[in-house]
Amino acid sequence: MAPRVRTRTSLRAALSTGALVRAAGAHNALGASLVEQAGFEAVWASSFETSAARCLPDASLLTMSEYLEAAAQMQAACSVPVVADVDTGYGGVLNVAHMVREYEAAGITAVAMEDKVFPKMNSFVATEHALLDTAEFQHRLRTAKEVQTGAEFFLIARTEALINGLGTEEALHRCRAYAEAGADAVLVHSKARTPAQIQEFLRGWDRRVPVVIVPTTYPDWSADEAHAAGVSMVIYANQALRANVQSVRQTLRTIYQKGSSTGVEHDIAPVSEIFELQGLAQWMELEA
């Protein structure tokens, strides 16, 4: 038996059913495999996680090639779609065109591009978050759609209007303009502690394209409640990374302090589970 060949689902196909699509963040193939194993319908190839894995801030420091390599490795390990967080598109209009061609060629069927000025800073950092002019971002979106070669490629336009403090009406204005420019979905980001801003946005939205949210700062709003309010996709963008930091730190401290791993063995995965995630049995059969 050869190593498994994966039949992949595109994000467009997943959303076409009308069911809520839930995604979780990852930064490598192993993390993406765990997202799929947990039952999520998509993987979020998080620029925040990918930067953090290098101990660098999410501030446009890594190159497109570095983010693309991580996303492509995640997609190779999964049958669910990987949605690549491509920040601002890595530069100007021509950079956006190059990005779409490269990501699509690598088998990534969905990207999310935000309307901030390049270089950008992570949305939760207390600093200025300058936005592109709406017409300029529309131009970039049109260019992205013009250069895609396959019908399955899916472009999510992310507005940071609420992050910037511009209010719901500006977020609605921008998202309507982005949908007119050809965006396949819009992502409305908020750092408020409740979902009130998102709920207000949804009441004013005409559902011309699906809405994506990232409930990092308002975790009490359940996926079912969000779906009932008109959300098509929910991204749990960084919870896996935060859990990994917490659990690994505690495990290693315990081993160091106790002088053995006996006290943590019942809390950590056995080596056999790692073998399974690696597909080791299939590779050994191929060698035989």
SS (H, E, C) 25-73: EECCHHHHHHHHHCCCCEEEECHHHHHHCCCCCCCCCCCHHHHHHHHHH
58 is catalytic: yes
Q: Helix or strand or coil: residue 185?
A: strand
Q: Which of 58, 87, 115, 184 is catalytic?
A: 58
| CA 197 – CA 229 distance, rounded (Å) | 12
The token pair at 52 is: 């953090």
| CA 267 – CA 247 distance, rounded (Å) | 10
| All residues at 6 or more sequence positions from 192 whose CB lies less than 8 Å from its CB, including other chains | 162, 217, 218
Nearest Cα residue to 244 out of 97, 86, 27? 27
The catalytic residue positions are: 58
